[in-house]
Amino acid sequence: MKVQLEVAENDDISVCEVKDLQLRMNKNGNISELKSLVLAMTDALQRLHCAKLRRKFSGITSAKRLNMKSFTQELNDFLNCPYKPNKTKQELNRMRLQYCCNATGSLYFTKRNTAVNQTIPYETSIDFPWSGRRLGRCAVVGSGGILKNSSCGREIDSADYVIRFNLAYVNDSDVGLKTDLITINPTQIQREFKNLKKNPDPLVKRVSVYGNASLAMPAFAYTFCTALSVSVLKVLHPVRPQQPVVFFNPTYLRTLDRFWKSRGLKEVRLSSGFILISTALELCENVHVYGFWPFGNDLQDNPVPYHYYDQLSPHRYMHAMPEEFVRLLQLHSKGALTLHLQPCSSDNF
């Protein structure tokens, strides 16, 4: 039996291992040993394939001109490879983000990080809930339609800290129920909760679903955001004091924007999802990302809605979602975070 292989010389499995197996297969006539050698060769080639894909996705720099058919096929293969966490990369990203942006102390306004005589005329938290400690396993749950029928709820709820966005609806099967921090977009208040001062009950009922989770708002992103954010604070603070409304610190957002622009991510404004993934990379021991998939079809080429809970289209001018996704894929490939794009397995529990 003659076996011929082409092996790249710099792959991160032993080239000698593959060549040795090839030589032994060519010389061996024993059927049972040959079967063992075939299995060993198959395993070695699979590791070789995974190593090539890992290098390829680690070096991807842009979503432009992606061939989606080959991209999704290779990505599907790569996600079936064993994940390799890299503590060195995790700590390096943490140090870079803390040095440049410092979510640890300035993600949103608090009494501790607001200077004397600095005018912030609203109720603010005394300090951060994570003050003095590092969060453990964090789940950052985007709202992508790829989460629909994913059965990821139990896995998400097992995290130490769960971040969600834009008052996304929760369920125990696909996205879980646990929430520690959730964002509110001021445009949601305009669109879904009109006459908030006269009729606060719909908003109070909506946020109560998230228990004692902090409600984060970009109060200073645009002029119109400030009044809306303050009105949410004034409505919710008296009736749900256990559920703080917090305002993102614009200084943190600006420095984070510069951080990613210096690394080639050019867009009008970072999405709230990408902002809080960056935050999690600084604050958490391990970051698991769910529901971030900016394309219209999944890895099996089935159409997926933009959100798992509605049929809205993305605002393409504001956020370069495919470009953000490429950065997440880079981080996953380097072992800095775990990107979940397939249905979750019950075997983990």
Q: Which of 27, 240, 220, 214 is nearest to 127 (CA)?
A: 214
Distances (CA, A) of 103 to 85, 126, 128: 23, 16, 10
E strand residue ranges, the chain = 135-141, 161-164, 181-183, 214-217, 245-247, 284-290, 338-340
Question: Residue 319 catalytic?
Answer: yes
CB 108 within 8 A of CB 247: yes
Residues 280-298: b if buried by 16+ CB within 10 A, e if exposed:
bbbbbebbbbbbbbbbeeb
* Spatial distance between the Cα atoms of 281 and 84, rounded to a whole number of angstroms: 17
Active-site option among 288, 307, 319, 340: 319
CB within 8 A of 160, min separation 6: which ones? 135, 136, 137, 138, 284
Residues marked as catalytic? 319
